[in-house]
């Protein structure tokens, strides 16, 4: 498995994910329309040009998905049961078409699951930055991770 098992994750560990993702106009328009989000800030260049941003901004939920997705190879690929919560989502700066998002993840807390002896609960803070190093999103995610098969009862 490429992902980390519960035992592999140490509180305070920071993972700087190598993969970056350039966000395109197509990404933004498709995601916004597929999710029925007709916010003109995402879809109407004329409208958005008259806002403080001066152009369309990328849908924040898409940015959230990209940030979590970038972390999968290093952290969760094949080693989680599922996500339990997303909390404290902030978007300090907008993402624009053509921006490249990079992510780092920090393990905030972990504990054994009370109801599943073969799993543990881990909380991770993901920070997404654009190509200039500016924070564009922060999110705290809690997931149910598998324990190593030989470590379970």
Separation in Å, CA 130 to CA 49, 99, 151: 21, 6, 39
Amino acid 152: pLDDT:
47
Fold for domain 6-151? Thiol Ester Dehydrase; Chain A (3.10.129)
Summarize pLDDT for 22-68 with one digit per residue, the tens.
999 999 999 999 999 999 999 999 999 999 999 999 999 999 999 99
> Domain segments of the chain: what residues?
6-151
The phi, psi pair for 10, rounded to 5°, reads -115, 130
Nearest Cα to 96, choosing from 138, 52, 139, 126? 52
For the question of whether the overall pTM of this predicted structure is more than 0.85, the answer is yes
């Amino acid at each position: 498995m490429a992902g980390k098992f519960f035992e592999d994750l140490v509180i305070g560990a920071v993972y700087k994910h190598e993969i970056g993702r350039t966000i395109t106009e197509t990404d933004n328009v498709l995601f916004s329309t597929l999710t029925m989000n007709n916010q003109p800030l995402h879809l109407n260049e004329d409208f958005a040009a008259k806002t403080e941003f001066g152009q369309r901004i990328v849908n924040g939920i898409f940015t959230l998905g990209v940030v979590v997705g970038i972390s999968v190879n290093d952290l969760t690929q094949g080693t989680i049961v599922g996500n339990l919560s997303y909390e404290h989502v902030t978007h300090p700066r907008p993402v624009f078409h053509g921006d490249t998002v990079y992510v780092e993840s920090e393990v905030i807390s972990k504990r054994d699951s009370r109801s599943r002896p073969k799993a543990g609960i881990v909380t991770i803070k993901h920070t997404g930055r654009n190509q200039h190093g500016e924070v564009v999103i922060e999110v705290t995610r809690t997931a149910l991770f598998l324990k190593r098969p030989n470590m379970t009862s």
